[in-house]
Structure 1
Amino acid sequence: MGNRQALLHIFPGSIREVLGRLNLNYEKLQEIRLRSERPIAVLWDGKEYFVKKSGEATVYSEDGYCPGSQEMVQIMEYVSGYSMYAFEEELRQGFLTIQGGHRVGIAGKVLLENGKVKNIRHIAFIHIRLCHQIPGCADALMPYLTEKENVYHTLIISPPGAGKTTLLRDVIRQISNGIQGCAGKNVAVVDERSELAGSYYGVPQNDLGIRSDILDGCPKAEGMMMMIRSMAPEVIAVDEIGTEEDRSAIETASCCGCKVLATVHGSSVEDIQRNPCIQRLCEEKTFERYVVLNREYGKGHIQAIYDGTFRRLL
């Protein structure tokens, strides 16, 4: 079953027919948003459209197809394989990953237990972020990240939606498989939000290379320490760092001889130098390469590359 068909399979018949007729190139489809009694919206190539019952994309919300509450229930039944209980832990976090590596975010009535989220019921809002692999998207970047069998500590700086996870995924794949001048490395991937590997029942849906080991759904800081103890990695990769615990774990990993590949939200090196959690890593020159992405020119566009002293290389 193709990736597009596998995605359509999670929807009940009526919505499946509507989205199955969608007259947009699937490869550029980024998000699908469904809200009970409100028009289906999609993000395609950075632009929002609503979807008519005929499958035609439109900018007019009043023409969009509106799923009912029962259809929202059916979607969650399909997504969970009619066993919502089996996904209770994932649902507590507000999302789960489905076959193909797509991420399904949810919102609705929160049930609390001892002041903590126990579950989410009456789900009326579903946000699907589609996973698209782009093998080779990091080709132009790799010469700056490796040299004479060495991998540089690298931080990818990117605003939301600029393609940092897609780029990091391909960097991991190439370092794991090996490239000219740099043999393949054992890479430990701590995939807290299941977005890098897109694991489904423990099986990665995305290609992260032949030497990558994935710890799925584990907090980054704790996961990095677990992987160092258990998997003896040469490289550790994490997405979206930003806490003191993350900073401390990165410092420990670098002291243990592991190279670190990470991403962080930001629009420039000045942004991260002002970030309290990242500032110390900058001052200690932990990272040897900084890659800045700019979504203005499309996902994955590299605006600049700097070395550990913030000397511009590109």
Structure 2
Amino acid sequence: MEEILRLFTDDIKQAVISKVENRWDKLQEIRIRLYQPLEIAFDENTEWIETVKPNKKDGIFLLNQMSQFSLYRMEDELREGYITIEGGHRVGIAGKVNTAQGHVKALQYITFFNIRIAKQLTGISSGILPHLYNRSNNNYFNTLFIGAPQTGKTTLIRDVARVIGTGWKHTPPKKVGVIDERSEIAASIKGVPQHNLGLRTDIMDACPKAEGMMMMIRSMSPDVLIIDEIGSTQDVQALMEAIHAGVQICCTIHGQSMDELNKRPSLHDLLRNDVFDRYVLLSKRQTPGHVKSIYNGSRQLIWG
């Protein structure tokens, strides 16, 4: 975990090493709030480090390490509220916001950091892939993955991209296009993905989803588009255009249940037109990406 430890001054680094010990594989987040104890979130519980309370100097050091002493080059990421670092880890940031004409211009006085540990879990989609593949036409069903925060939606869809783009059993690989608006799926740095997304997978990194979908279709002619966290009206319109262009889609959305989706105004067109052939509902367990149930296009339970 050198990519993580290099972010800290020596006293914080030693405190984190002592707290985590041999539990790096269970580590989910390290939350740093200036002048407050450190919060360490594991799969099964949350623990605190009371012995160190980061100060302004520690925060500046962390920012410099994240940006490699060149914050001005990361203005877009800072405005979005996160920076992706080597290894695919993502550091969320918060503080005082500067606005211009009602829009976020920049983050100033950054005093809160959330280091989310990237975990590539290969093979976690193998149990559900047969339910997402239509053998009658040798293509994938349009699929929506539904889950609350921290249920592992991104982890699961990352593995789905890898398997579809590489092939599995007697199923040949497909051309996959990933629209990675927040650099979470591939965790690309300078355009190079830090995670394995498959042999035939192309990635549009840090691009707005609605624009990126059509750009990817025009430039790379994918068989399957993979998008994380849809929700806006623009996302829905772009998805409809992609489907009319003959592309299959796999995407995720925040939600607790199937009923909750019906209450989302932006999704009415997708649901009314039966765009999705499969709905995959995730549940929060210690293992990310745990699938609770799968429904068909008529929202009838077919697995789980």
Name the TM tier (shorter chain).
Answer: over 0.9
Q: Look up the SS of the partner of 2:109 in the other structure.
A: strand
Instruction: Give 1:121's match in structure 2, choosing from 108, 116, 124.
Output: 108
Q: Runs of 5+ in structure 1 lacking a partner?
A: 52-62
- Residue 57 of structure 1 corresponds to none
Q: Is the 8 A contact 1:50 1:64 kept in 2?
A: no
Residue 67 (structure 2) pairs with residue 42 (structure 1): no
What secondary structure, in the 3-state scheme, does the structure 1 residue paired with 2:204 have? Answer: strand
- Report Cα offsets for 1:92-149 as digits up to 9, x if no partner: 1111100111111111222233443222222111111111010001010111011322
Once the two structures are superposed, residues 179-208 of structure 1 have per-residue CA deviations (whole angstroms, 9 ceiling, x without a partner) of: 123211111100011100001121100111
C-alpha contact (below 8 Å) 2:278/2:294 kept by paired residues:
yes
| Aligned pair partner of 2:83 in 78, 93, 96 | 96
Question: Aligned partners of 1:145 and 1:94: how far apart in 2?
Answer: 34
Kindly report which structure 2 residues correspond to 1:1-314, keeping only aligned pairs within 5 A, or say none. Answer: 4-21=1-18, 22-23=20-21, 25-51=23-49, 63-148=50-135, 149-296=138-285, 298-314=287-303
Cα displacement string for residues 184-242 of structure 1 (whole angstroms, at most 9, x for unaligned residues): 11111000111000011211001111111111111111110111111111110000110
For residues 297 and 106 of structure 1, do their structure 2 counterparts lie closer, same or farther at Cα, with a shift above 3 Å needed? closer
Give how far 1:152 is off.
Answer: 0.8
Given that residues 30 and 39 in structure 2 are in contact (C-alpha distance below 8 angstroms), is that contact kept between their aligned partners in structure 1?
A: yes
AA in 2 matched with 1:5: E
Q: How many corresponding residue pairs?
A: 300
Using the alignment, how far apart are the partners of 1:46 and 1:193 within structure 2? 26
Call closer, same or farther: CA 1:50–1:64 in 2, change over 3 Å.
farther
Q: Letter of the aligned partner of 1:49 in structure 2?
A: E
- Aligned to 1:313, what secondary structure does the other structure show? strand
**Local SS of the residue matching 1:221:** helix
Cα 1:7–1:296, aligned 2, differ >3 Å: closer, same or farther? closer
Alignment RMSD, CA only?
1.4
Asked if 2 retains the 8 angstrom alpha-carbon contact of 1:154 and 1:262, the reply is yes
In structure 2, the residue corresponding to 1:124 is in which secondary structure? strand
Code of the residue aligned with 1:154 in structure 2: it is: T
Identity %, equivalent residues: 40
Segment drifting more, 72-81 vs 139-148 = 139-148
CA contact (8 A) 1:146 1:182 kept: no
SS at match of 1:136: coil
- 1:60 corresponds to which residue? none
Unaligned runs of 5+ in 2: none
TM-superposed CA distance for 1:27, in Å, is 1.2
The 8 Å contact of residues 43 and 286 in structure 2, kept in 1 or not, is answered as no
> For 1:270-295, what per-residue CA distance to the aligned partner results, in whole angstroms no more than 9, with x for missing partners?
11122112232122111111000111
Letter in 2 for 1:25: R
Q: Could you tell me how far apart the structure 1 residues matched to 2:286 and 2:25 are?
A: 18
What letter corresponds to residue 166 of structure 1 in structure 2?
T
Counterpart of 2:302 in 1: which secondary structure?
A: coil
**Which range moves more in the overlay, 196-205 or 265-274?**
265-274
